[in-house]
Structure 1
């Protein structure tokens, strides 16, 4: 490709070029777009061995962090260092002269790949991904039994709430176009964190998360409690929604947990707004927002402190946290890997935005494994919880099977 001749690229072409840069580099990379933003960003670290870092995020170099659901023995997360970084506005064509020098140099030595060739490259690179799912996690009977066990544990006062998960594996069609899929997700879900990351020999994932775990920018720290789920229906779903006591209580549990974390560190000054109904794809949730001035409260490292206290949140694990976690380890029957872990850009353009890895799929071989969980309380109905996970799987699944869905 000759980058010395300035040509205007569409957003699809630019994304294709960025995916080509990442997949031919031999290293790790991530592409994302934050909620309510028009900016697409990429970080690329072309070292072939994925890097791991501690969770003291304030001291990290700029990059992109990825942490699985389960605690790691080494207390570390994968980290894609921003050795190379680029961002562009999605709503305007991009001149090839605006590409960074490193991208021009790399692309000058390569033929421009077609979407089919990028798909082939992606499949070849995910052949060795470590995806360890048991067949159990795909089965409806296993999941509904898991919900029943959860209800029983709640009735016996062992748990207040638990969030069992399941998987659904679909084939990646021959027409699959990764850049179109990412763009379709960005257009369909403006309020979600759209992300794609590739860690060689570890995993390749795509997602549209509705849930911020922590955010820091300047002196401001932000987190949210998001729970309760129902399908969005009608012309104005935000106006016509009605929440049951079960859903209101489920979300209140998550909010109380965040406040209990503040109390644990003797932080008393915080703003809480909500709960309010929010739209995430074709689903509605209840959300409360929490804001803190880290300078005024004397907590400059609140991001790292709260990351340690919040993960895994009661929205992806349950309450009490330790007991719910132990229950899932015993009964769930599969490795969640990065699903319901956390991920996001760290110390990039002066801010850190870390999200819970929800509405996500792992790409491997010619397949995509979709992940979904459902919050179980005493009033849960196993059949309805299964239907909720089906709706959640569809959020990503339909775009993999039909990019222009």
Structure 2
């Protein structure tokens, strides 16, 4: 297909670019910078595509609309993608048992901390490093487009920053003029033929923490707040609990205030946020970088659409790093939390 041939040429050019498709849409959009200059976001009044790290103190990368070429394609038939079925050959860089023991210890430490009434919920994560000999970046992106129709599916590259690939099921914020929409997404179980499932108290409680936090956080910045009851949504081979939240921004500069308040959300950090964030920094043992940050359009066609950077991987030469995490509460079980990260990793490996 000519469209993907063009993207292939962009890849060879070593210029900064992003290819993305928003959830439940057919349009695949591309922004390519004309130079390899590194731009940073200094105001949410700008137009472009932002790629922000988990750590709020680190710089947010911007592809400004004025510095980019744009092209797009509506994909209605996924057979047109011409996906190769060749599997990527991968091997673990780190010993699996060592990784398991390390994560079990982290989760147990988190449970103990929460049971001492220090926090309600903390999201801890790990990074699985794989070595590959035949990884086809563009083919993996096509598989993501095919496998995750209701996710924000993206491929992002900057020669001075790196290469990231992901399929996020979680919206951080949607704004159209003053109208605002976000979601509280938490709880995970495997999808087995139906979304009509029962949720345990631990998952319901975890999701309620996220909902309550967001409602409290947006109070004072958003008017006419409305929200749905929690319902089950499918994301690839996983199910999550979700509540949709709506409202109207109180002021023209409300967008920046809102993002500042929301990020990082309890779905990728914890409750209370300050305590959870400090615990993660002290105990997780690695830099999340852009994992659990956010990305998306700012003021494109009068809309801002930002997504939490979940279900993502980082590509460095022949090494692929998959980032996975889970929400820990007082009722969590360390072995089950490890199993959940393994399952999430296997879901991601399907596109390799």
Point out where structure 1 has 5 or more consecutive residues left out of the alignment: 1-9, 94-114, 120-132, 401-405
Show structure 2 runs of 5+ residues with no match: 79-83
Partner in structure 2 of residue 96 of structure 1: none
Residues in 1 aligned to 2:343 and 2:34: alpha-carbon distance in whole angstroms: 37
TM-score scaled to structure 2, two decimals?
0.90
Q: Which has the higher strand share?
A: 2
Alignment of 1:310-325 (within 5 A): 310-325=262-277
User: Match of 1:139, SS?
Assistant: helix
CA distance in 1, matches of 2:217, 2:195: 30
Distance 1:353 1:232 in 2: 27
**Shift of residue 339, structure 1, vs aligned partner:** 0.3
Residue 391 of structure 1: how far off its partner (Å) = 1.6
Q: Indicate yes or no: 2:77 matched with 1:78.
A: no
Q: Quick one: which of 314, 318, 326 aligns to 1:362?
A: 314
Q: C-alpha offsets along residues 200-254 of structure 1, whole Å, 9 cap, x if unaligned?
A: 1211000000000011123321100000000111x3x212x11001100100000
CA distance in 2, matches of 1:171, 1:309: 38
Question: 1:159 maps to what in 2?
Answer: 119
Distance 2:308 2:297 in 1: 12
Partners of 2:96 and 2:262 lie apart in 1 by 29
Q: How far apart are 1:301 and its partner, in Å?
A: 3.0
In the alignment, which residue of structure 2 is the partner of 1:123?
none
Deviation at 1:49, TM superposition (A): 2.7
Per the alignment, residue 334 of structure 1 pairs with 286
Q: Give the whole-Å Cα distance in 2 for the aligned partners of 1:370 and 1:136.
A: 14
Is 2:224 the partner of 1:260? Answer: no
- Superposition deviation, residue 371 in structure 1: 0.2
User: Which residue of structure 2 aligns with residue 126 of structure 1?
Assistant: none
Structure 1 residues 143 and 46: CA distance shift in structure 2, 3 A:
same
Deviation by residue 1:292-331 (Cα, 9 ceiling, x = unmatched): 133xxx3333322211001111111111111111111111
Given the two structures, how large is their TM-score scaled by the length of structure 1?
0.79
Tell me which residue corresponds to 2:239.
284
Correspondence for 1:87 among 43, 54, 72: 72
> Does the CA contact (< 8 Å) of 1:163 and 1:374 recur in 2?
yes
1:179 aligns with 2:138: yes
Structure 2 counterpart SS, 1:71: coil
Deviates more, 1:43-52 or 1:208-217: 43-52
Partner of 1:48: 36
Provide Cα deviations, 1:320-369, integer angstroms capped at 9, x if missing partner: 11111111111110011100011112222221111000000000110110
Partner of 2:19: 31
Q: Which has the larger radius of gyration?
A: 1
Provide the aligned C-alpha RMSD in A.
2.2
Would the aligned equivalents of 2:223 and 2:247 in 1 still touch at CA under 8 Å?
no
Runs of 4+ with deviation above 6 angstroms: 133-138
Structure 1 Cα separation of the partners of residues 56 and 96 of structure 2: 23
